[in-house]
A and B are shown apart, each in its own frame.
Chain A
């Protein structure tokens, strides 16, 4: 190639004054939202750039605008996107206003995409191999001699692509359907698809936010390796500043559609200029180090003895008398599931014994498949243990569940908060009705006192009383999770089981909810059982930590001890996987 411009490095893609709008309604009722405002940036060949911001900041929109895949009514209103590619001379293609055919050429071979949610981004009705093959075909994949790949050669190349993306046993896996894969495996397939045609740039849109931390680390390491090998540039979209700084050379911080700050990653981390960047750094759980202090009362102490003595003797003939000092005691509990087409039963939870102390927060951490959610569901009485016993306040769960009345009593004292605040609220019911529902079911008070209670609860979770008349789709994710907490609090529970309750939320919102939970605990003396895959969050909220792997407890203790002196390799791996941990 000629070296005419070698003095000045030529960008791969150059964005100038980009504006993107979304519009809803027609005519007079038309409302326009500016999603991206006057954004300008360059990405150079082989460079890693991260766009950081909360949801709604315009980071994904910016990325999607580059390949003309804006969702719904999204439209580029002004600005320019110049694609230089590897044309070798100064020729560039203006992408704003380019015909769809130009984009069909560019997508896949020029710019690849790894989308956010691996589970919904593969077509459920086609085999994985088919979906990789068609990517290769669509972009005219050729063999060494320049012939189009066909038949067996195509099959082989597809398997090769998947192997490179880190999918074991690729040949066999290609004959399977996406639903037979875990989230991590789906994401590997999507990475394979994104990189199949060796694009010059890869857009990775929150590629791991739906995955376990340990898987996250492996996938991101792999993604780094692959893009380095191929010399592809990477545009990494994330809400986690720690992660972004760790994985990219340059950061672009977006806030409300505008780029507020950009520059080399470490520099921004050490010396943030904009207030928003400072706030993001503060909130990033991956960068925090100690448990949240309650803003209203002194923080509760650590668990000094993690388990009562009688738990030392496992597998004893007689079951122990459960003490009432602990809110929950789980004794030697095993849960087996029958797997279709397999004789051997799957042990989701294997002889687990632990207790949850009153007024404290106990966290169960582990990857997906570790059995942590199964444990939570058994404690909630939604699943029955195959073996073993669970007691709530010194009484067996089966006693609590022996008739409708005592079961209701139990249900009012132990309340769940689930992961997805979008799915757990009835979209057709007003917020007020959703919060009031438990009061209606348990027939507490009359209509007036219930309405009053709803307002109190809203106040407790720091939402204005006007929210009671609104509907879930009018609220943000963080607001909805506050509603879910308010609903759980309606019956004055003694304990809350929070299953990945903040995992779906942005960092800033996450911090707010955790602070709220912490304040409520100090105020009401609540006991929390916190189920999560995110160790960074555990450190912020938990007094005691239980680490689970493959259905068994591998480590337990006071949170600080577990973090500072992990005994098991598995725990160490989990801790290492927290992004940005070694940056400070």
Chain B
């Protein structure tokens, strides 16, 4: 197990390096001179100032050196200063934005877990029934329609027209304010989890071991919750884990629609301004979260399914 985790961590480092390099290269290739953007309209011809800014942000150095200098900062937890946003340290900007994203993502995750699994199990047990059919159509719609469409529609009706829920979040990180954005953020994943759980439950219900459980004289409730559910959740957990990371990234759209001052919103603002240090720092953190949550899932997976034990040895 230990060697397995070690191996996975090493993989994580490689993924992290690759992802940051890629993002750094993309930002580098963006059109426009970031130094000119930093000095502003008035100082467009102040070559001395421009050169000073170039030196400050390492813009005068070749690409690979720029990248290495940035990575050196990352490993010493010094992400440098943002080019825009009042030249604040990147770490401060991210620190301010992070709580909103975490709250939103965790709430969305909770919805996925509860709604996704409960609806999925009920649909799976009554496969082919009216509830199942309705759920299948609804989930298909959710998966097919892009999040920003569902987001805007929900905000328009629930927030603006009917005034049931606050239409924007701004800086209010409470349950009522986050409810709608979290549901929208989770919507596609909820639909996927419902479908996955439903299929797993209905497949497991016809498995041989369920037949044996019935022959033992067990009640239906016990068979469903003790025998079928645990087996059905194994693939669902894998999906949920991969999704935790995706929720953070997916927050870009939702945070913009509902004006949540989170990481996604920050990233959304940083990209058009070509703020290299900020963009790459945010992506680095997102990749890190993604990789770690996947590792956690793989470990959890082994606890749910005793057949899986990580270690050396062939076969």
Task: Give A contacts to B, CB under 8 Å.
Answer: 67, 69, 71-72, 100, 104-109, 112-113, 115, 117, 120-126, 134-135, 138-139, 177, 179, 190, 193-194, 197, 337-341
Q: Which of B208, B222, B231, B304 touches A134 (beta carbons < 8 Å)?
A: B222
Q: Which of B211, B305, B314 touches A115 (beta carbons < 8 Å)?
A: B211
In the complex, A179 Cα to B72 Cα: how many Å?
48
Task: Give B contacts to A, CB under 8 Å.
Answer: 206-209, 211-220, 222, 226-227, 230-231, 234, 304-307, 309, 311-315
Does A134 lie within 8 Å of B212, measured CB to CB? no
Does A121 lie within 8 Å of B311, measured CB to CB? no
Could you show 14 A-B contacts with beta carbons less than 8 Å apart?
A72-B206, A104-B219, A105-B217, A108-B217, A112-B215, A123-B231, A124-B305, A124-B306, A134-B216, A134-B218, A139-B216, A177-B306, A338-B313, A339-B313
Task: Using A134-B218, A338-B314, A340-B312 as known contacts, say yes or no to A117 and B211 having CB atoms under 8 A apart.
Answer: no
Closest 6 CB pairs of A and B: A108-B217, A113-B215, A340-B313, A107-B217, A120-B208, A177-B306
Q: Which of A120, A135, A338 touches B216 (beta carbons < 8 Å)?
A: A135
Q: Within the complex, what minimum Cβ distance (angstroms) separates B205 from chain A? A: 11
Task: Using A121-B212, A124-B306, A125-B231 as known contacts, say yes or no to A135 and B217 having CB atoms under 8 A apart.
Answer: yes
Residues of A within 8 A of B312 (CB): 338, 340
Q: Within the complex, what minimum Cβ distance (angstroms) separates B113 from chain A? A: 19
Q: Which of A108, A121, A125, A194 touches B211 (beta carbons < 8 Å)?
A: A121
Task: Using A104-B217, A134-B222, A135-B217 as known contacts, say yes or no to A337 and B314 having CB atoms under 8 A apart.
Answer: yes
Task: Using A107-B217, A135-B217 as known contacts, say yes or no to A125 and B306 having CB atoms under 8 A apart.
Answer: yes
Q: Within the complex, what minimum Cβ distance (angstroms) separates B200 from chain A? A: 13
Q: Within the complex, what minimum Cβ distance (angstroms) separates A314 from chain B? A: 28
Most buried by A among B217, B313, B315: B217
Of all chain A residues, which has the CB nearest B210? A123
Of all chain A residues, which has the CB nearest B305? A125
Residues of B within 8 A of A139 (CB): 216-217
Does A193 lie within 8 Å of B212, measured CB to CB? yes
Of all chain B residues, which has the CB nearest A101? B219
Residues of B within 8 A of A104 (CB): 217-219
Does B307 lie within 8 Å of A124, measured CB to CB? yes
Does A71 lie within 8 Å of B206, measured CB to CB? yes
Does A107 lie within 8 Å of B214, measured CB to CB? yes
Does A124 lie within 8 Å of B209, measured CB to CB? yes
Task: Using A138-B222, A179-B306 as known contacts, say yes or no to A69 and B313 having CB atoms under 8 A apart.
Answer: no
Does B216 lie within 8 Å of A122, measured CB to CB? no
Q: Which of B206, B216, B222, B306 touches A107 (beta carbons < 8 Å)?
A: B216
Of all chain B residues, which has the CB nearest A179? B307
Q: Which of B206, B208, B220, B222 touches A121 (beta carbons < 8 Å)?
A: B208
Residues of A within 8 A of B307 (CB): 124, 177, 179
Does A337 lie within 8 Å of B315, measured CB to CB? yes
5 more contacts with CB within 8 A, not counting A115-B212, A124-B307, A339-B313, are A67-B215, A115-B215, A177-B307, A337-B314, A338-B313
Does B304 lie within 8 Å of A69, measured CB to CB? no
Q: Within the complex, what minimum Cβ distance (angstroms) separates A461 from chain B? A: 31
In the complex, A124 Cα to B307 Cα: how many Å?
7
How many residue pairs bridge A and B at CB < 8 Å?
Answer: 91
Task: Using A120-B209, A121-B212, A122-B209 as known contacts, say yes or no to A138 and B313 having CB atoms under 8 A apart.
Answer: no
In the complex, A177 Cα to B303 Cα: how many Å?
12
Does B315 lie within 8 Å of A134, measured CB to CB? no
In the complex, A124 Cα to B206 Cα: how many Å?
15
Most buried by B among A105, A124, A125: A125
Of all chain B residues, which has the CB nearest A130? B226
Residues of A within 8 A of B215 (CB): 67, 69, 107-108, 112-113, 115, 194
Does B306 lie within 8 Å of A134, measured CB to CB? no
Q: Which of B222, B226, B231, B313 touches A124 (beta carbons < 8 Å)?
A: B231
Q: Within the complex, what minimum Cβ distance (angstroms) separates B256 from chain A? A: 42
Does B218 lie within 8 Å of A138, measured CB to CB? yes
Residues of A within 8 A of B227 (CB): 123, 126
Residues of B within 8 A of A340 (CB): 309, 311-313
Does A108 lie within 8 Å of B216, measured CB to CB? yes
Q: Which of B212, B218, B222, B315 touches A122 (beta carbons < 8 Å)?
A: B212
Does A138 lie within 8 Å of B219, measured CB to CB? yes
Most buried by A among B213, B222, B314, B315: B213
In the complex, A128 Cα to B207 Cα: how many Å?
17
In the complex, A179 Cα to B220 Cα: how many Å?
25
Of all chain B residues, which has the CB nearest A139? B217
Residues of A within 8 A of B217 (CB): 104-109, 135, 138-139, 197
Residues of B within 8 A of A115 (CB): 208, 211-212, 215
Does B208 lie within 8 Å of A117, measured CB to CB? yes
In the complex, A138 Cα to B215 Cα: how many Å?
11
Residues of B within 8 A of A134 (CB): 216, 218, 222, 226
Residues of B within 8 A of A120 (CB): 207-209
Of all chain B residues, which has the CB nearest A132? B216
Residues of A within 8 A of B218 (CB): 104, 134-135, 138
Does A123 lie within 8 Å of B209, measured CB to CB? yes
Residues of B within 8 A of A135 (CB): 216-218
Of all chain A residues, which has the CB nearest B227? A123
Residues of B within 8 A of A108 (CB): 215-217
In the complex, A339 Cα to B311 Cα: how many Å?
11
Does A190 lie within 8 Å of B219, measured CB to CB? no
Does A193 lie within 8 Å of B216, measured CB to CB? yes
Q: Within the complex, what minimum Cβ distance (angstroms) separates B220 from chain A? A: 8
Residues of A within 8 A of B207 (CB): 120
Of all chain B residues, which has the CB nearest A177? B306
Residues of A within 8 A of B226 (CB): 126, 134
Q: Within the complex, what minimum Cβ distance (angstroms) separates A189 from chain B? A: 10
In the complex, A125 Cα to B312 Cα: how many Å?
22
Q: Within the complex, what minimum Cβ distance (angstroms) separates B143 from chain A? A: 25
Of all chain A residues, which has the CB nearest B314? A338
Q: Within the complex, what minimum Cβ distance (angstroms) separates B315 from chain A? A: 7
In the complex, A126 Cα to B219 Cα: how many Å?
17
Residues of B within 8 A of A177 (CB): 306-307
Of all chain A residues, which has the CB nearest B315? A337
In the complex, A340 Cα to B307 Cα: how many Å?
13
In the complex, A304 Cα to B43 Cα: how many Å?
102
In the complex, A514 Cα to B312 Cα: how many Å?
42
Of all chain A residues, which has the CB nearest B308? A179
Of all chain A residues, which has the CB nearest B209? A123
Residues of A within 8 A of B304 (CB): 125
Residues of B within 8 A of A69 (CB): 211, 214-215
In the complex, A135 Cα to B209 Cα: how many Å?
13
In the complex, A138 Cα to B304 Cα: how many Å?
24
Residues of A within 8 A of B208 (CB): 115, 117, 120-121
Of all chain A residues, which has the CB nearest B233? A125
Residues of B within 8 A of A100 (CB): 220
Q: Within the complex, what minimum Cβ distance (angstroms) separates B204 from chain A? A: 10
In the complex, A436 Cα to B238 Cα: how many Å?
38
Q: Within the complex, what minimum Cβ distance (angstroms) separates B278 from chain A? A: 45
Q: Within the complex, what minimum Cβ distance (angstroms) separates B168 from chain A? A: 45
In the complex, A71 Cα to B208 Cα: how many Å?
10
Q: Within the complex, what minimum Cβ distance (angstroms) separates B7 from chain A? A: 15
Residues of A within 8 A of B309 (CB): 340
Residues of B within 8 A of A193 (CB): 212, 216
In the complex, A112 Cα to B215 Cα: how many Å?
7
In the complex, A120 Cα to B234 Cα: how many Å?
17
Residues of B within 8 A of A126 (CB): 226-227, 230
Q: Which of B216, B231, B311 touches A138 (beta carbons < 8 Å)?
A: B216
Task: Using A337-B314, A337-B315 as known contacts, say yes or no to A123 and B306 having CB atoms under 8 A apart.
Answer: no
Of all chain B residues, which has the CB nearest A196? B216
Q: Within the complex, what minimum Cβ distance (angstroms) separates B18 from chain A? A: 31
Residues of A within 8 A of B313 (CB): 338-341
Q: Within the complex, what minimum Cβ distance (angstroms) separates B225 from chain A? A: 12
In the complex, A123 Cα to B229 Cα: how many Å?
11
Of all chain A residues, which has the CB nearest B214? A69
